[in-house]
Copies of this chain bind each other. A is one copy, B any other.
Amino acid sequence: MKKSLIQFCKDLYPVYRSLTGKGVRQTLEYISNIVPFEIKTVKSGTRCFDWIVPPEWNIEEAYIVDLSTNEKIVDFRDHNLHIVGYSVPVDIVLTFEELDKHLFHLENLPDAIPYITSYYSKFWGFCLTYNNYKRLDREGKYHVVIKSAFKENGELTYGELFIPGKSDKEIFISSYICHPQMVNNELSGPAVLTALADYVYNLKNRNLSYRFVLIPETIGSIAYLSLNHTRLKSAVAGGFNITCVGDERAWGHIPSRFGNNISDKIAKHVLHHTAGHFEQFSWLDRGSDERQYCAPGIDLPISSITRSKYGTYAEYHTSLDDFNLVTQKGLEESLDVHKKCLFVFENNFKPKLKVLCEPQLGKRGLYPNISTKSSGKIVRNMMNFLSYCDGETSILEIAELCNLSFFEAYEIYEKISQTDLF
């Protein structure tokens, strides 16, 4: 991707996103200029398993005026998180007491605007910092204006990109585009996914096919699955849900429901050999679209790699989840880890040695001719690798049996592939 990951985030930071609406379309258009995502729609009101796609929601203005000073004390144009997502339109004058029921703030993070939504219940509200809230005149009158609109015949918008490879088996990669003006959760996911899609799109000789989706969280993945789950169930060989991959503080792995599919194994192997320490979460710690992709009866073999996971960092779901938290380095490292995972998927063969007993490496220039007390680590690793090439054990399994990374093991595999031994 020509654009840097951090610039991608900065470009999309001001765009107001919600489950549906113009911001989502604008975001997808921006991305489809980088890699050719198709922009697709599901009509509002469509039944998707247990859910119904909500009306499309758009907002123009939202503010509160203190009538004693005539100043806008809260304005959606200052920060998108000021408005509760899917707020109904209002134009009303209220006392502080009446207004207070619609205000959200965080006493323990007095400079943070919280992120609140009310998708499935008619409501309106504003979010503001506690410091701002404290200053409000308890005796004042307030003019509240929300110019929002629900479109019953609107649409839910999402992006999809299919990149074919030699095999019909596909790797499924998903992130979400419904979160407004926060960076780790969630512009980091779309950024890394877009760069990963760009990388795969430009790969030559793909062994596998790839499917990338950018959807609104929960209702988006449910809508997408209701349209595609039967086909996906037979096609998907692995994949990842990408979320919270932008900071440099931590690494984590969120497993699938039973924690032992091939994507879980690859994610853990790559994290172990790349990040060193990482937090092993449990299925009980889940919270993003793996909830749908790994649901009973859906059971796609996907997994999830994160940096500071949703729900675990102080800035989570507030205006403090910004560019102080997310960095180019953090994003790049996450992209690199996901690329490495795809490399494992592409190359995880089960090599079979063509000769019985140990092959004679010497005559193939792979072994020192003089045997001395210290035999080299390189030869040792090669012999260890070969000792497991029974045609039933994958390179990933061999790597783990030999205390090697997949990449070290694959390097040995490639070297030997140039001889007559495989």
Contacts and interface: CB of A to CB of B under 8 A. Distances in A.
A268 interface: no
B317 A373 contact: yes
A402 interface: yes
Interface in A350-403: 352-353, 355-360, 362-363, 369-373, 380, 383-384, 387-391, 401-403
A51 interface: yes
A328 interface: no
Nearest to A364: B50
A403 B116 contact: no
Which secondary structure dominates chain A's binding surface?
A: loop
A291 interface: yes
28 contacts: A49-B357, A50-B355, A50-B359, A51-B357, A51-B360, A114-B373, A116-B371, A118-B371, A120-B362, A123-B370, A221-B357, A222-B357, A222-B358, A226-B357, A257-B388, A283-B384, A284-B384, A284-B402, A291-B387, A292-B357, A294-B387, A296-B356, A296-B387, A296-B388, A296-B389, A296-B390, A297-B353, A297-B356
A118 B371 CA distance: 7
A295 interface: yes
B118 A298 contact: no
A149 interface: no
A117 interface: yes
Contact of A225 (B352, B356, B363): B356
A229 interface: yes
A218 interface: yes
Interface of A: 49-51, 104, 106, 114, 116-121, 123, 218, 221-222, 225-226, 229, 257, 283-284, 286, 291-292, 294-298, 316-317, 352-353, 355-360, 362-363, 369-373, 380, 383-384, 387-391, 401-403
A110 to B, nearest CB: 15
Nearest to A354: B50
Contacts of A352: 296
B296 A391 contact: yes
A50 B357 contact: yes
B51 A295 contact: no
Nearest to A352: B296
Contacts of A116: 370-372
A358 B296 contact: no
Contacts of A283: 384, 387, 401
B387 A357 contact: no
Given A49-B355, A284-B403, A353-B296, A257 B387 contact: yes
Contacts of A218: 358
A85 to B, nearest CB: 9
Contacts of A104: 372
B295 A371 contact: no
Given A296-B353, A316-B373, A120 B360 contact: yes
Contact of A121 (B123, B291, B294, B369): B369
Given A355-B50, A357-B298, A369 B316 contact: no
A420 to B, nearest CB: 9
Given A225-B357, A387-B291, A371 B296 contact: no
A294 B387 CA distance: 9
B373 A292 contact: no
Contacts of A360: 50-51, 120
Given A121-B369, A295-B387, A297-B353, 13 more contacts: A49-B357, A50-B357, A50-B359, A116-B370, A120-B369, A121-B362, A257-B387, A283-B401, A284-B384, A284-B402, A286-B387, A292-B358, A317-B373
Contacts of A225: 356-357
Contacts of A296: 352-353, 356, 387-391
B118 A370 contact: yes
A352 B295 CA distance: 12
Contact of A229 (B226, B257, B356): B356
Contacts of A357: 49-51, 221-222, 225-226, 292, 295, 298
